Amino acid sequence: MKKPICPNCGGYIPNNETPGAYMGALSRRDNETEICSDCGTREAMEDYILSMKQSGYGQN
Ligand SMILES: [Zn+2]
């Protein structure tokens, strides 16, 4: 069985310990690319930070 590779970091999906064990995360960039758990978490964090900036948080 082919092991899914994350196009973002080149690692296995969902992670390097258990490649192909279950679905990875869906990229928030295009909503169709499957990425690894780490990248999914990172994208979610980036979106969170971006939304905070857009809402004016941290600006003076
Ligand atoms: Zn990745």
Nearest to 36 by CA among 46, 21, 51, 47: 21
Number of domains in the chain: 1
Centre of ligand 1 to C-alpha 59, Å, is 31
How far, in Å, is the centroid of ligand 1 from the Cα of 48? 18
Q: What's the pTM value of the predicted model, to 2 decimals? A: 0.81
In which residue are the tokens 């758990």 written?
37
CA of 57 to the centre of ligand 1 (A): 28
pLDDT of res. 59: 61
Indicate whether 10 pLDDT > 90: yes
Instruction: Kindly tell me the sign of the dihedral angle through the C-alpha atoms of 35, 37, 42, 46.
Output: positive
Centre of ligand 1 to C-alpha 19, Å, is: 12
Task: Give the range of the structural domain holding residue 44, as residue numbers without chain letter.
Answer: 1-60
Local confidence band at 2 (pLDDT 50, 70, 90 cut-offs): confident
Query: Among 42, 36, 45, which Cα is nearest to 4's?
Result: 36
Whether pLDDT at 24 is above 80? yes
Distance 24 CA to ligand 1 centre (A): 9
Q: How many CB atoms lie within 10 A of CB 13?
A: 26
What's the CA gap between 31 and 52, in Å, rounded?
A: 21
